[in-house]
Amino acid sequence: MTLARPSYGQMPASGRNGRAVNMTAARSRLPVSVVALIAAVGVLVVAAAYTAGRLGYASSPWANRTYWLGQVLIIAPVAARLLSRRRLDVSETVTLLVILTVAEYLVKVSYSPTGFTFGDELMHWRSTMNILQTGKLFRPNNLLPISPFYPGLEEVTAALVSITGLSVFAAGLIVVGIAHLTYVLLLYLIFQQIASSHRVSGVAVLIYASNPLFQSFDSMFVYQTLALTFLGLAVLAAKHLAAWKTARDRGGWLTIALLATFATVVTHNVTSYVLVAALEVITLGSLFARSRLSAAWASLLALAASAAFTAWIVFVAPTTVSYLQPVLTSAVQAFQGLFASGHSSGQTATVGPLGDQALSAATVLVISMLLPVGWRQAWRHYRQQPWVIAMAIGSVSWYILVAVRLFVSDGSELAGRTATFVYVPTGFIAALAVIRLTDNSLRWPVIRANARRRAPLVVAVAVIGAVMFIFDGLANGWPPYWERLPGPYQVAGDERSVDSLEIDSAQWAAVNLGPNNTFATDSGDFDVIGSYGDQNPTGNIAYLYTSRTLTASDIQQAADQQIRYVLVDLRLSQALPASGYYFSGNDPGNYTRPLPLADLTKFEHIPDVARIYDSGDIVIYHVGEIDYAG
């Protein structure tokens, strides 16, 4: 028996009471062009808040309120149009999603509009520069050793730089901006193909945009941003393979699916594994819905993707196993500790402000309550649709993500990293629930008589909920709360540790020392010296900075690490680390006071150590030939 699906995409030409509906009057009173204008104003307001932060007002309440005001102007009008029960056609829906995506991307660019400052972006900038300088792939990158073996992003960016003469920064912004927008549009197409409703699709993408990495990591100059586009294209092709009847159509989509799959594999390791997992879930949903054709194509593509990434690891990137093993081992140990003793071991993540925690808890609660409603909708109206069943199965991962976030020590980072993928099925199923609740609430007996008057209230509640979701993603994503606004230098403050002094010292090293020298440095200078400086910073060097003298074992350890230069930022003696640690690797942490200045200046008194650079705050020492001096 074929079940009739609800028509969420278009409103009928006549109302349920038989009276004609004026379609022109049913259109929203807020044109899409006005929404775009308001969003543009919102971007300017956020940019003004960022400027205030750079001028020294990063911790000012009014600067933070200005930031959130700008976000309201970006999000609320888009959400109001997408959630409104008034008529909204396909072109308007797509335009609204483009407005939201582009506006949030411009906000991200406004954070550091003159150059890369996010650590992950600096890592991939180094890989891109290696390709441009040598003309070869797979050149070592000490900042992110796995990056050269997945060079899709860097290849595309280097090609654009070579063709246009643009800087890597400008070319990178273009590449990831286009990739991010394309991925969002591919998500919309996938949802639309599944639900046959542009309204469901628009709301699903709106909810997806609340994932904590949407405005930050998913639009950064990192390999996952481009890989997501290829993943989306591969999944869309898999959907079309089961729908088209002619061999020619299927041949074209099969070619696209295989090329997109291979492009995913060579661009990002984790995304390629998620692609396989997604295709397997689609296979499971297809079998449940008794769609053998869909199951066959999904399983075939999953097998092709598995073969591709296995071959890539074996023949090109064998270090992938050792790169991922510590992460997987840590996660397994955390879960084992949780199940064995009721709590997990390890360091606890930095706890954010109480307001951010409350917002996160409210969002988790609401989405957790929406999913069962969405499952009911999927079962009632779509249980013979294999991809909807697959989305329902995939959305169960939301509760796993919540468990990791709440019960696994330092699970916030792991949960945040996986949110990019978990929010795809979660957003779709939650959208079914949201539309069901907003539409059905107007038919409840209590308010049926006043449905026209109550309709704006119902939509307003839904809009507030959407804004709350996205605010949660912004507040609990990246950057963290202590650097939500850019500002003056902050000790061990990630992006706020990147200023002109760091960049000047790194560029001096690149010009005067040559490339690929092993450096000891603090975490704030780590990525800068490795990217702008073209050097090889190394971790596990806290021992060089946290004692008044160097022992013989310290000297031997530095020699074993082949450290030639030590960069000392004297500002480490002025403040505690904002991120909780001063150094990468084996930082002891739990600091109660800044590092003593004498611990940082001890190199001045060690024979055979030469001070070769001094900006006043940043000093570089040549220690390649030091002898033990007691």
Query: 74-91: per-residue pLDDT in tens?
Result: 999 999 999 987 778 899
Give the confidence band of 240 by pLDDT, cuts at 50, 70, 90: very high
Give the confidence band of 17 by pLDDT, cuts at 50, 70, 90: very low
Q: Determine what percent of the chain is predicted with pLDDT higher than 90.
A: 68
Query: 487-545: per-residue pLDDT in tens?
Result: 889 999 888 889 899 999 999 999 999 999 999 999 999 999 999 999 999 999 999 99
pLDDT at 502: 94
The enclosing H or E element of 51 equals: helix 32-52
Res. 407: pLDDT tops 60: yes
Across the range 162-190, mean pLDDT stands at: 97
- Counts for the chain of helices (H) and strands (E), in that order: 23, 5
Burial 379-401 (b: 16+ CB within 10 A, else e): eebbeebbbbbbbbbbbebbeeb
pLDDT at 18: 39
Q: What are the structure tokens assigned to 102, written together?
A: 């582009």
In sequence order, the 6+-apart residues with CB closer than 8 A to the CB of 453 are none
Write down the mean pLDDT value for the chain: 87
Res. 335: pLDDT tops 90: no
How far apart are the C-alpha atoms of 126 and 128, rounded to whole Å?
Answer: 5
- Return the higher-pLDDT residue of 482 and 425: 425
pTM above 0.85, yes or no: yes
In sequence order, the 6+-apart residues with CB closer than 8 A to the CB of 65 are none
Res. 408: pLDDT tops 70: no
Across the range 249-263, mean pLDDT stands at: 92
Res. 449: pLDDT tops 90: no
Residues in a beta bridge with 15: none
How far apart are the C-alpha atoms of 59 and 67, rounded to whole Å?
Answer: 12
> All domains of the chain, ordered by start, with CATH?
107-221+348-483 (no CATH), 494-622 (3.40.50)
Q: What is the dihedral of CA 270, 378, 435, 16, to 10 degrees?
A: 160
Query: 535-581: per-residue pLDDT in tens?
Result: 999 999 999 999 998 888 888 899 999 999 999 999 999 999 988 89
Query: 42-54: per-residue pLDDT in tens?
Result: 999 999 999 999 9
Across the range 439-445, mean pLDDT stands at: 54
Sign of dihedral through CA atoms 373, 379, 382, 385?
positive
Give the confidence band of 246 by pLDDT, cuts at 50, 70, 90: low
Across the range 9-15, mean pLDDT stands at: 40
Res. 348: pLDDT tops 80: no
Across the range 252-260, mean pLDDT stands at: 95
pLDDT at 16: 40
- Return the higher-pLDDT residue of 629 and 151: 151
Across the range 188-203, mean pLDDT stands at: 94
Give the confidence band of 415 by pLDDT, cuts at 50, 70, 90: confident
Res. 380: pLDDT tops 50: yes
Query: 295-327: per-residue pLDDT in tens?
Result: 999 999 999 999 999 999 999 999 999 888 877
Is residue 401 within 8 A of residue 419, CB to CB? The reply is yes
Is residue 221 within 8 A of residue 109, CB to CB? The reply is no
